Amino acid sequence: MSFFKRLKESVSRTTSSVTEKFKNGLSKTSASLAGAMSSVFSRNKIDEELYEELEDILISADVGVDTTMEIVDRLRVEVKERKLKDPEELKPLLSEILVDMLKGEGDEAGMNQNPDGLTVILFVGVNGVGKTTTIGKLAHHYKEEGKKVMLAAGDTFRAGAIEQLEIWGDRVGVDVIRHQEGSDPAAVIYDGIQAARSRGADILLCDTAGRLQNKVNLMEELKKVHRVIGREVADAPHESLLVLDATTGQNALQQAKIFKEATNITGIVLTKMDGTAKGGIALAIRRELNVPVKWIGLGEKMDDLQPFNAEQFVHALFAKEVEKETGGA
């Protein structure tokens, strides 16, 4: 069975609405990336010019130089081993390499949760990336699963951050634990843990500040928050999710490297993916950080934050090619 057929079968195991969300949310990247590649695949032969053009396209989609070089090097090796001659044969091969790179090891395990009590999920990231909105949407996701969810407003320094989280709490219908603006974030999250326990919550989602201009202070603050959580709940935080704005491209990658130095990042949330034609940043982040992308923002609706799926992602990029080979829906 060809890779495109296997890819379509894998995608078909999820609901069609999820597939459509990925296709719609990644339409700009697909048009840019797959559209530009059509000229590469329509060449007469596989030669050095083809590889160079492919490199330019991948780099322009924010895949990054190092990640692009690895993709093209793997492509060269596979072309030689499989004795491929027709550029058309590179389409499924490239897709296979991208899925493999996006998956990494252990990515299929999903979100870590505490089976015996309260699950604590910590969110980090700079201001403006959509962190608070992500927390609200994730609260909605877990509430739809039947979980009792609470929020802790640990971003006590940004004007309006607490109120913004409370608005989301009201919208979703979950309690928010808050202190006054300027309070100690670790104290807020400590109180959040106590309240979540006393009210029988399953999941506590914790917001944090994102003042990267005060890097040293921020990183020390995050370490303190980690210590408090770990002291109060065994093996917590069960997830530390770094929220990144996909539209900022390589800047998002630099932010990720800084946060990874300070705290144990277990997963990435890529927001605003529907607003960029450079969704290749997902590949760069996955490879260079060795941290899985766990959630992806594909629109503004409450349920447009979706669990990341490598097959769905690549299928959305090459949907037209997959349908062409597999004979449509």
pLDDT digits (tens, 9 = 90+) for 143-197: 999 999 999 999 998 878 999 999 999 999 999 999 998 899 999 999 999 999 9
Statement to judge: residues 150 and 43 lie in one domain? no
Residue 329 covered by a domain: no
Residue 37 covered by a domain: yes
- In this structure, is the dihedral angle defined by the CA atoms of residues 299, 296, 19 and 102, taken in order, positive or negative? positive
Statement to judge: residues 145 and 216 lie in one domain? yes
Reported as a pLDDT band with limits 50, 70 and 90, residue 260 is confident
Residue 2 covered by a domain: no
Reported as a pLDDT band with limits 50, 70 and 90, residue 257 is confident
CA–CA distance, 159 with 139 (Å, rounded to integer):
22
Statement to judge: residues 287 and 245 lie in one domain? yes
Statement to judge: residues 132 and 277 lie in one domain? yes
User: In this structure, what CATH number is given to the domain that contains residue 99?
Assistant: 1.20.120.140
Statement to judge: residues 115 and 182 lie in one domain? yes
- In this structure, what token pair is assigned to residue 267? 């997963």
pLDDT at 329 over 50: no
Give the pLDDT of residue 105.
62
Statement to judge: residues 158 and 285 lie in one domain? yes
User: In this structure, what CATH number is given to the domain that contains residue 122?
Assistant: 3.40.50.300
- One DSSP character per residue, 62-76 reads T--HHHHHHHHHHHH
Statement to judge: residues 80 and 126 lie in one domain? no
pLDDT digits (tens, 9 = 90+) for 126-158: 888 999 999 999 999 999 999 999 999 999 988
pTM for this one? 0.92
pLDDT at 244 over 50: yes
116 pairs with which residues across the strands? none
CA–CA distance, 327 with 66 (Å, rounded to integer):
35
CA–CA distance, 28 with 275 (Å, rounded to integer):
7
**In this structure, are residues 324 and 23 in contact, taking their beta carbons and an 8 Å threshold?**
no
H or E stretch covering 11: helix 3-12
Known binding-site residues equal 125-132, 207-211, 271-274
CA distances, 157 to each of 168, 188, 294 (Å): 18, 12, 27
Exposed/middle/buried for 106, CB within 10 Å: 0-12, 13-18, 19+? exposed
Number of structural domains in the chain: 2
Residue with tokens 């990247």: 29
Arithmetic mean of pLDDT over the chain: 90
Statement to judge: residues 19 and 161 lie in one domain? no
pLDDT digits (tens, 9 = 90+) for 41-78: 888 999 999 999 999 999 998 999 999 999 999 999 99
Statement to judge: residues 118 and 48 lie in one domain? no
Residue 74 covered by a domain: yes
- In this structure, is the dihedral angle defined by the CA atoms of residues 265, 269, 275 and 281, taken in order, positive or negative? positive
Q: Higher model confidence: residue 284 or residue 329?
A: 284
Give the pLDDT of residue 196.
98
pLDDT digits (tens, 9 = 90+) for 304-319: 999 999 999 999 998 8
| Residue 180 half-sphere exposure toward CB, CA atoms < 13 A | 1
Residue 160 covered by a domain: yes
Statement to judge: residues 226 and 270 lie in one domain? yes
Give the pLDDT of residue 328.
57
Known binding-site residues for GTP equal 125-132, 207-211, 271-274
Residue with tokens 């935080």: 237
Statement to judge: residues 33 and 128 lie in one domain? no
177 pairs with which residues across the strands? 152
pLDDT digits (tens, 9 = 90+) for 87-123: 989 988 999 999 999 986 655 557 888 877 999 999 9
**In this structure, are residues 187 and 135 in contact, taking their beta carbons and an 8 Å threshold?**
no
Reported as a pLDDT band with limits 50, 70 and 90, residue 124 is very high
* Residue 281: domain span: 110-309
Statement to judge: residues 136 and 261 lie in one domain? yes
